């Protein structure tokens, strides 16, 4: 009599085990599928080719949006960028004054270069229009066939003129206000101007090519950064290098030369014109050829290679 309940219990246990066994493959399969999908997603998120394509897409989109902006908005933003960048040069003159004759020259150079970089932080995080940034950004939609050369020329002209006008005003402001406040000695303006005026036109041109390349690289890296903290770090890293190397920048250099001119340090109008011409052309070459063309070319070529050989990992 007692064997029947026992048999039913055994059969129940056996059936339960069978049900569990039949369910396990489904659960494992779902789990494996989810894990595989997550792994593939992770692999795609860190793929160098995908990353390059994403950066290119971002920069083209940003450049195209700037090309579509009306001229008055571009000009006002360019004026703001010149003032922000010039503020960093004013800080540079203050640091130059306070550190000269007190600290060793390498220490002074380091501090002055950091002050120089601050203006670029204001510009990049403030999202205002700086000419050297757009030698790369605005040219990418043209290379991609989404914009014309005339649109690019309009943007470059408006932004460059706005930057030059506002940095000239800031230079005059610094030369008058700095000594009046007792925070800048006139010799600081002379010393800063000499960082530019001692060079021949060909040195200014080649240096501006290098500067244009670095600023174009900065625009590319900023597009890759995911937050303002990373962007600020990249800005300081690259522009500190420009500052401590004394490379000529067409907009920041405008402040340096004009501070020397307004302070009566012997800078001539002729040299000023040569500076504007050589650094303008050099920065365009560096920003378009060495960054826009090369970056665009290697990403697009990479896409073509993957289309031709889809099976290659």
Give the CA angle between residues 103, 107, 109 to the nearest 5°. Answer: 115
Q: What angle do CA 256, 240, 152 make, to 5 degrees?
A: 70
pLDDT (tens digit, 9 = 90+) per residue, 280-306?
Answer: 999 999 998 877 788 888 888 766 555
The 10s digit of each residue's pLDDT in 130-166 is 999 888 889 999 988 999 999 999 999 999 999 999 9
From first CA to last CA, the distance across the chain in angstroms is 69
**Token representation of residue 108:** 């002074």
Query: pLDDT band at residue 27, thresholds of 50, 70 and 90?
Result: very low
Q: What value does the mean pLDDT of the chain take?
A: 84
**pTM, whole model, 2 decimals?**
0.80
Other beta carbons less than 10 A from residue 272's beta carbon:
17
How many angstroms separate the CA atoms of 137 and 294, rounded?
13
The answer to whether 75 and 161 are in contact (CB under 8 A) is yes
């Amino acid at each position: 009599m007692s064997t029947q309940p026992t048999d039913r219990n055994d059969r129940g246990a056996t059936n339960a085990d069978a049900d569990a066994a039949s369910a396990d493959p489904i659960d494992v399969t779902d789990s494996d599928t989810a894990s595989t999908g997550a792994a593939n997603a992770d692999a795609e998120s860190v793929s160098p080719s995908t990353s390059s394509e994403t950066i290119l897409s971002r920069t083209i989109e940003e450049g195209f949006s700037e090309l579509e902006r009306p001229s008055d908005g571009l000009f006002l933003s360019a004026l703001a960028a010149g003032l922000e960048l010039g503020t960093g040069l004013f800080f540079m003159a203050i640091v130059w004054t306070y550190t000269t004759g007190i600290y060793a020259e390498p220490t002074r150079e380091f501090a002055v270069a950091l002050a120089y970089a601050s203006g670029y932080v204001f510009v990049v995080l403030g999202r205002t229009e700086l000419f050297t940034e757009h030698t790369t950004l605005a040219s990418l939609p043209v290379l991609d066939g989404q914009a014309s050369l005339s649109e690019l020329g309009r943007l470059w002209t408006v932004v460059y003129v706005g930057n030059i006008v506002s940095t000239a005003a800031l230079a005059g402001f610094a030369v008058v206000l700095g000594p009046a406040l007792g925070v800048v000695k006139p010799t600081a303006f002379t010393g800063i101007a000499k960082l530019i005026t001692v060079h021949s036109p060909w040195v200014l041109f080649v240096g501006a090519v290098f500067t244009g390349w670095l600023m174009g690289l900065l625009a590319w890296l900023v597009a890759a950064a995911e937050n303002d903290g990373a962007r600020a770090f990249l800005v300081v890293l690259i522009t500190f290098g420009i500052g401590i190397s004394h490379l000529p920048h067409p907009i920041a250099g405008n402040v340096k030369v004009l501070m020397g001119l307004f302070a009566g340090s012997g800078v001539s109008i002729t040299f000023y014109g040569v500076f504007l011409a050589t650094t303008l052309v050099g920065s365009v070459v560096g920003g378009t050829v060495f960054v826009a063309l090369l970056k665009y070319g290697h990403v697009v070529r990479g896409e073509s290679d993957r289309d031709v050989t889809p099976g290659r990992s």
